[in-house]
Structure 1
Amino acid sequence: MPHQAPPAGAADLAIYVQNLLQHMTDRFTSMSSSILGRIDELGTRIDVLEKQIENMMHQSGPADSPSKLLQQ
């Protein structure tokens, strides 16, 4: 929606404000959906990373646990 100067009449002004609020609501909804989608994607990527780290730790065995490596 291109930026327009507000109209002079009260009825025209009410319509202008209503349209502006609708435009802002639509943008907010779109941005919210985008942000939530990215958060979901990030959560999935973190879950995969945690699983990979868990698998690597399990494959390395108890002798190579992080606490034993720090004691060396």
Structure 2
Amino acid sequence: MLFLLQRCSHTFNLSKLMAGSTSKAAQDLTAVMETTMQTLQSKFQNLSDQIIAKVDEMGTRIDDLEKNVADLMTQAEMEDKNETKQVYADFEERTSLSKL
């Protein structure tokens, strides 16, 4: 997009198109067009910077979310192992008591 704006700025540079013409109107129009193109370029650059910042922020949030999910999965696995051990211990205790 910036390339397009720069290209338009060069295309609309009336002072180059009207080589040798020194009319005040042509100079004024050239100045207005150049100012307008610079303003548009600046606005597009600001929008581009904002989008990049938001994408970076989203990437950080996704990384945090992935870490939290991994932590929860690890915690769930540990709880599952503890429950399995407890069930096994209860089973062992019942079977050893029933043998008495």
Q: Structure 1 stretches of 5 or more lacking a match?
A: 1-7, 64-72
Question: Unpaired segments of 5 or more residues in structure 2?
Answer: 1-37, 95-100
| Structure having greater relative contact order (Cα 8 Å, sep ≥ 6) | 2
**Pairs aligned (count):** 57
Segments ≥4 residues shifted beyond 2 Å: none
Map 1:1-72 onto structure 2 (within 5 A).
Answer: 9-61=39-91, 63=94
What percentage of residue pairs aligned between the two structures are identical? 7
Residue of structure 2 in register with 1:3 after alignment: none
TM-score by length of 2: 0.53
Q: Aligned partners of 2:71 and 2:91: how far apart in 1?
A: 31
Specify the structure having the higher radius of gyration (Cα). 2
RMSD (Å), alpha carbons: 1.9
**TM-score of the two chains, using structure 1 as the length reference:** 0.73
